[in-house]
Structure 1
Amino acid sequence: MHPAPSISGPLVAFLLAAAACPLAAQSPAARPHLAAFSDSVRRVSNPTALERGLEAVKADRSGGMSWRESRKGWIAYRIGELTEGRRWLDEAVRYFDEAIYRDSKWADPYVGLAETKLLLEQRGMVVKSSMHHRDGVYYEDAALEHLASALQHQPEYPAAVALLGRLLLDLDAPLFPQPLAKAIKASARHDANGPVPQLLLGRWLRKQGRLDQAAAAFRRYGELGGDGGLADLELARVLYLQGQGAAAVRTYLAGTARAGTLARTALRRDLTWFATDEELRRFDSLPPDSVGARVRQIWAERDAAALRPAGDRLQEHLRRWWQVQEKFRLVGRGKKARFGWGLSGTPQQLGGDALELGTWALFQPGSLPESDPRALGIDARGVIYMRHGEPEARASWHGTVEGQTPSSCFAANESWKYELPTGPIVLHFCASEALGTTAPTSLVSMLPLSADMIGARSALDPSFARLELDLRAYELAVHLKGRLASNRSGADFGPVAPRITQTIPQRAQQFGEASLALGLATDTHPLDYERDLEPTVQVYAVGHPSGSGRALVVFALPGERLHPETLQGRVVYPVRMRVTAVDTARGHTRTLDTLRYFAAQDTIRKGAYLYGTLELPLTPGSYYVRALFEQQKQRAAGAAGRPEVPVPGMPGRLTMSDLITGAAGSGLNWTHRGRRISLNPLDSYPSGSDVELYYEISGTEPDRRYRTSVELARTGGGAGQGKDRIALGFTDRATARELLVQRAIGLGQLLPGRYLLTVRIEENATGRQVVRERMINVRAER
């Protein structure tokens, strides 16, 4: 219910005064007055008052006809905004049509028509043709045509320029109709229109492959006062297409440091292709001056996780983005489809011991719910491609099944296989009414149980080959049943049930659901290698109040996984090693990249290892550390790391380094601060041996005593049985601001298993404490 009408004298006077303006009021000098009319009407929220104002405008015959009809259109449009249904919106269309008929070169009624038809589209109204609306044209498309007409006739018309930005600013790679593209070019010729037309022109030129002109338009957008960060983002995409990948990465990252509101929105949209919900929530909570650092950190973390050089993941993202825009854009009425992430397309007939196969083969797979704007304009293949890139393998099948009504999967289908760190996944795509019926546009968790369709996937995973055999057996049973039914001998051959056990289809369904969930929750850019070196890696961190901390990487590589070479008559093992550490709070990245030739008297036999250490200087903080080992000629590599590596060293606080464990006689030692520290590259200790322990305590006070408690406790199954715990304690007096501690812990008769080593330091005078833990592997004594 709207409030009781209260038509005021000033409102009627304003409408009459506006209606009395002569046609000459459409001159450039009078345009601010024209815009003021529609703006003032939009501020009125009482439909009845607006109706009375409309009657007043109708009754007044002064001024130009086009002027008067356009004003009537804006009043009817505003009433339509405030009321339900389409009556007043249809009236607005009629008024604006008449205004255009009276003066076809005036932009204002074209803008009014565009606004009205966008609202009709938003309300889902059935399309009606009219004076300036051809049959078969949807409201949204008609609105873009009207906007193009407005700008072609008056490229500097403020309301048209503003609507242009409102409609197209959020579309990274819009498919402009040709008339609108011409209108954008015309509008961009006038700097008075501001920066937005330049931005839209640059996007159109980029889509046409006119890259130098696109780059110039994006630069001009920034020069006219546009968001500098958005200008750099768009320019980075052009630079990548020009083959300047490194420059594209530099420009993109530089732009994050000067991102305004529009750039922040665009960067979030760009991150949404792959970022986790937690990453996006953190991004949304940032103050403006922290956006750039956070975006750079996200990309650095992706590089570190994939053990790639800095900027590599972003460059791959720019490649994927352009591929998706070219290959997986939605067309036709699906072009505005929005994606959610729920699983769909799963049959519900798995309750019994067996099922009728026809129910599965005829089931209609659904598309992802249209609720999430993260993939605007892109089909489901594009969503997956942005996360994982080119699939390892693809499979599809084209055909029909006799006696069945073809489902959307029979219209078009495709399956993609990816090798993730957690194992293989296979993702299925089918055509759908929601996203398009001529291509496999929608994700489904399960394909129809057609033997031919499933058989086409047999090379992707063994489960499809097994399922195909079951389906062929079923089809044979159906055929035999038909043959027996037509036998006229009268003999009773017994029933041949066309049924199939549920076990294999159920497993296929579960595999599909798990693949879909993983595919939408992860992103990958894996290194392309044929053989895993299977390294054993330990990462330790030590620090110092001066800020001179470091990460120590201890590694062991199995000899049988390595390939030897001969260099100057000696056996050597060339191994390229890269260590990457990402500061998880600030996004800074430190990298060590080196090639070592390990000399050996002979080839390393099976069961023996090549081992060593790497050091990476770090400042205090928390780091994500990963190490990569490669034999590039052999296309062999292996990686491992530690997601949270705390480097101590904050002055004034009691802190402790990692617990570095080793074994005397292991053959590997680390010289640090004048001490020889034993290491254990295989991280395994026989029962009855000693564990050499080293750690550093910072922030101690001279002459104060510090109580140390050390505990080894078995974890997992069997804990609490036999000898599964060691506890000991001792007290040290500090002589300086730090303590360097080396001790040996005898394992005695501890049972084999995994043990948690806990070291707790307490300052006797104040009760200040610090605790560190790590796992110890105890094996049976040999």
Structure 2
Amino acid sequence: MRTLGVAALAIAALAGHAGAARAQAPAERVALTRLRDSISFSHDTTAILRLERVMIERARAERDDPMHHLRLGLIALRLSELRPGMPHLDDALGEFEWAAELRPEWPWPWYGIGLAESRGTDRAAGFAGGLYTMLGLDRDRLAGSAFVRALEVDPTFANGLLEFARIALAQRIDAPVQPALEALRRATASPVGWDPALLLARGRLERLGGDPDSAVLAFRRAQLLGRDNGLAWLELARTIPLTGPISGDSGLLRRQQTWHAYRTGLRLADASVLAGYRRDLEPITDPGVLAQFERLSDSARVDWLERFWTDRDALELREPGARIAEHYRRWNLAVQSFRLPPFRRRYRWGIEVYLSGDTEFDDRGVVLLRHGEPTVRIEWPKARQAVRLNPLTKSYGSESWRYDRPDGTMTLHFIAREDPQDYRLVPTPAELDVAGDQLALRAHELPGLARMLRAGDASIGWVSEDVRRNGLASMAIATRSDSWERGYRDVLSGRAQWLAAGVRDGKPLVHIVYAIDADAVRARGSADSTGQVPARIRASFFDRNGRAVATLDTVQYLGVPSDRARLVAARAEVPVAPGALRVRVGVELDPELGMVFPVDSLIAPRPDAPRLQVSAVLLGQAGRSLPWSVTRADTAWLDAGGVYAAGDTLTVYTEAYGVPAGEGAT
């Protein structure tokens, strides 16, 4: 680690002193910046203390020179970092305030006050933190006021602009986003506003203020002007998904741009930018996955993250690049709606079931990042008055969320006990602070709640316990997995099966046989003069490690069925890797009408197996079921329904592998 001697520190401290000018000269600002940068590299406490004593003696002789007090303030700030148990921070604040009294028209004294305040104890996180916040005496508010004063003196003061922007981004109650934005916009009209760091700060504030297009422009400028612009690329990836749709053809360009920015930023990332990538993964992964990410080399990390996101695209039957774009869209929504207050989060150990440990988002935000917006969100009215005699029973609100998923409904309940902005998961609606009549009005939307309200005296005990167990299971799914389920306004009825039989390009061939509601096909066929109805088929196949080994995304055209038909059947096929696989299949007639089947299993036999393996058995009726031309002379028939009459004649087809020609096997 680099260390500086006392002589070098003294030279840095005294260089550039231009006397007590009315307006702070550029040389004086440069001298202060050099001093701050020089001592920031030094860990030699003895040398810095010796320098402080030298500067104190000089300040005693020239008490009215503000530069002496500014230098002493910077030295005390550095000592407060090296000796946190000593009162150096108070010394720094006193020196900066003295300089502000001598030269209130200079920006540096106010900037120093802001630095000292921002490094002090955060009273908002301690006892009576809410009171300090209401009085404007929390750390961020005090520091922000000082930085504002520095900018009032000099609107182009780059250091003050950066710190004011940082405070606006970090402050969670009454954050001065618009004042900081206005200051940065004014600075952009001058050369100082084109500093890459200021452009990055402006981009973050534009995004927080709800203008992602302006944020993208600021990040692109920072990317062009900065020498190490990995952070600019990452911020672009975080912002591009907010500028418009990310799904379908209309979102293709945004998905491509997001993925390009994400990968490019990762290749250019230094340690601080890499920490940003890690933070983006935290809410949807566990510590073991994060530890694996940290152990990877730079090149391996790029491949690992590409697999991380593309596997999720495939699992949710999404277009490439859609899942990461959706993640950043959710992140922005969580920042806007579910940020925690600045107060320290306290848990009721042994009582609360889920302890997220997240310091930025409440439990609603954690669930949102993992699973997106719920199908149904109920914000319950309060049951009692806000003022209660017993503070232990107080609450600030209750919510219930329902997710409709292919493999069942996931119902979650939240209550805010500690703070109006801190909602926490509870396993049962019995813990919500909601009046009974209000629960009854919405009970039909929450299956567990409806069961509890219908239960009588004899059954309420076991019904409540069963609802609680289901709630715990939903909480486990909500906080240990992530998803982006395809949702449709109208659910298409039908059935499907997937069968592995045959070989293509040396791989097992999977047949996806599906039958969908004929009425839905007829309704869309009547509006199409061609008499053909497009049906989109999506399928993904995963190995035991959750890696996607094959995907299918195709459109098939179905003929309009007769009035007597109840189902319309079709078949799609895709080669896959052999082995034990998981399968997900979805069928849709349009973006508002479709269905996604629950994840299921499949065994795909090895065509080059060393011993006997048998394919799936294909059943059907010749001339009535769906044909598959195995060879020119052989046709197999597949039926999506699997229901036959007693007198039906069936065809049976299967294949065996791993048996040498001319030999038998049992």
Normalised to the residue count of structure 1, the TM-score between the two structures is: 0.65
Tell me the distance in 2 between the aligned counterparts of 1:299 and 1:119. Answer: 38
8 Å CA contact 2:181, 2:205 repeated in 1: yes
- Alpha-carbon deviation of 1:95? 1.0
Structure 1 121/179 Cα, relative in aligned 2: closer, same or farther at 3 Å? farther
After superposing the two structures, state which structure 1 stretch, 195-204 or 17-26, moved more.
17-26
Question: Would you say 1:38 and 2:36 are equivalent positions?
Answer: yes
Given residue 400 of structure 1, which amino acid in structure 2 is its aligned partner?
R
User: For residue 431 of structure 1, what is the aligned residue in structure 2?
Assistant: 416
User: For residue 10 of structure 1, what is the aligned residue in structure 2?
Assistant: 7
**Secondary structure class of the residue paired with 1:197:** helix
Tell me the distance in 1 between the aligned counterparts of 2:639 and 2:619. Answer: 12
After superposing the two structures, state which structure 1 stretch, 191-200 or 267-276, moved more.
267-276
Question: Would you say 1:217 and 2:218 are equivalent positions?
Answer: yes
Given residue 536 of structure 1, which amino acid in structure 2 is its aligned partner?
Q
Given residue 7 of structure 2, which amino acid in structure 1 is its aligned partner?
P
Question: Would you say 1:306 and 2:316 are equivalent positions?
Answer: yes
CA deviations on 1:622-666 (whole Å, 9 max, x unpaired) are 9975432345699463536667888989xxx98999853335765
Structure 1 576/268 Cα, relative in aligned 2: closer, same or farther at 3 Å? farther
8 Å CA contact 1:431, 1:442 repeated in 2: yes
**Secondary structure class of the residue paired with 2:425:** strand
User: For residue 557 of structure 2, what is the aligned residue in structure 1?
Assistant: 595
User: For residue 204 of structure 1, what is the aligned residue in structure 2?
Assistant: 205
Given residue 71 of structure 2, which amino acid in structure 1 is its aligned partner?
R
Question: Would you say 1:519 and 2:485 are equivalent positions?
Answer: no
**Greater fraction of residues in helix:** 2
Given residue 57 of structure 1, which amino acid in structure 2 is its aligned partner?
M
Out of 437, 441, 444, the residue aligned to residue 459 of structure 1 is 444
User: For residue 724 of structure 1, what is the aligned residue in structure 2?
Assistant: none
Structure 1 249/117 Cα, relative in aligned 2: closer, same or farther at 3 Å? same
- Alpha-carbon deviation of 1:430? 1.7
Question: Would you say 1:382 and 2:365 are equivalent positions?
Answer: yes
Given residue 525 of structure 1, which amino acid in structure 2 is its aligned partner?
E
Tell me the distance in 2 between the aligned counterparts of 1:669 and 1:173. Answer: 65
**Secondary structure class of the residue paired with 1:418:** strand
Structure 1 538/63 Cα, relative in aligned 2: closer, same or farther at 3 Å? farther
Q: How does 1:305-454 map to 2 (within 5 A)?
A: 305-309=315-319, 313=323, 317=327, 320-330=330-340, 334-335=341-342, 347=351, 369=355, 371-373=357-359, 376=360, 378-386=361-369, 387-394=371-378, 396-400=380-384, 405=390, 410-433=395-418, 436-437=419-420, 441-446=423-428, 447=431, 452=436
Structure 1 230/428 Cα, relative in aligned 2: closer, same or farther at 3 Å? same
State the aligned residue count. 624
Tell me the distance in 2 between the aligned counterparts of 1:561 and 1:640. Answer: 23
Tell me the distance in 2 between the aligned counterparts of 1:125 and 1:457. Answer: 37
CA deviations on 1:210-231 (whole Å, 9 max, x unpaired) are 5554443232122212335235
Given residue 96 of structure 1, which amino acid in structure 2 is its aligned partner?
F
Q: How does 1:527-546 map to 2 (within 5 A)?
A: 527-528=487-488, 529-539=490-500, 542-544=503-505
After superposing the two structures, state which structure 1 stretch, 7-16 or 33-42, moved more.
7-16
Q: How does 1:672-751 map to 2 (within 5 A)?
A: 672=630, 676=634, 678=636, 681=639, 692-694=653-655, 708=658, 731-732=660-661
Tell me the distance in 1 between the aligned counterparts of 2:334 and 2:259. Answer: 22
Structure 1 317/662 Cα, relative in aligned 2: closer, same or farther at 3 Å? same
8 Å CA contact 2:169, 2:205 repeated in 1: no
Structure 1 64/279 Cα, relative in aligned 2: closer, same or farther at 3 Å? same
8 Å CA contact 1:12, 1:56 repeated in 2: no
Given residue 317 of structure 2, which amino acid in structure 1 is its aligned partner?
L
After superposing the two structures, state which structure 1 stretch, 167-176 or 378-387, moved more.
167-176
- Alpha-carbon deviation of 1:616? 3.5
User: For residue 147 of structure 2, what is the aligned residue in structure 1?
Assistant: 147
**Secondary structure class of the residue paired with 1:534:** strand
Question: Would you say 1:579 and 2:538 are equivalent positions?
Answer: yes
Question: Would you say 1:22 and 2:14 are equivalent positions?
Answer: no
User: For residue 555 of structure 1, what is the aligned residue in structure 2?
Assistant: 513
**Secondary structure class of the residue paired with 1:661:** coil
CA deviations on 1:244-298 (whole Å, 9 max, x unpaired) are 7444323212212312327655555445454566665555455444666655555
- Alpha-carbon deviation of 1:96? 0.9
After superposing the two structures, state which structure 1 stretch, 40-49 or 408-417, moved more.
40-49
CA deviations on 1:550-583 (whole Å, 9 max, x unpaired) are 7432325388998767989xxx996724134479
8 Å CA contact 1:576, 1:630 repeated in 2: yes
8 Å CA contact 1:16, 1:56 repeated in 2: no
CA deviations on 1:727-746 (whole Å, 9 max, x unpaired) are xxx5448xxxxxxx9x997x
CA deviations on 1:706-749 (whole Å, 9 max, x unpaired) are xx4xxxxxxxxxxxxxxxxxxxxx5448xxxxxxx9x997xxxx
Which segments of 5 or more consecutive residues in structure 1 lack a partner in the other structure? 1-6, 348-365, 475-499, 697-707, 709-729, 734-740, 746-782
8 Å CA contact 1:428, 1:444 repeated in 2: yes
Tell me the distance in 2 between the aligned counterparts of 1:457 and 1:345. Answer: 31
**Greater fraction of residues in strand:** 1
**Secondary structure class of the residue paired with 1:104:** coil
CA deviations on 1:367-414 (whole Å, 9 max, x unpaired) are 9647335xx2x4332332332313325251423289973656643212
Tell me the distance in 1 between the aligned counterparts of 2:475 and 2:101. Answer: 54
User: For residue 615 of structure 1, what is the aligned residue in structure 2?
Assistant: 573
Which segments of 5 or more consecutive residues in structure 2 lack a partner in the other structure? 645-649
Given residue 496 of structure 2, which amino acid in structure 1 is its aligned partner?
P
Given residue 662 of structure 1, which amino acid in structure 2 is its aligned partner?
V
Tell me the distance in 1 between the aligned counterparts of 2:13 and 2:591. Answer: 84
Normalised to the residue count of structure 2, the TM-score between the two structures is: 0.74
Out of 233, 239, 242, the residue aligned to residue 229 of structure 1 is 233
**Secondary structure class of the residue paired with 1:257:** helix
* Structure showing greater Rg: 1
Tell me the distance in 2 between the aligned counterparts of 1:138 and 1:449. Answer: 31
Please tell me the root mean square deviation across aligned C-alpha atoms, in Å: 5.2
Q: How does 1:466-477 map to 2 (within 5 A)?
A: 466-468=451-453
8 Å CA contact 1:575, 1:631 repeated in 2: yes
User: For residue 257 of structure 2, what is the aligned residue in structure 1?
Assistant: 251
Tell me the distance in 1 between the aligned counterparts of 2:197 and 2:116. Answer: 23
Tell me the distance in 2 between the aligned counterparts of 1:633 and 1:107. Answer: 57
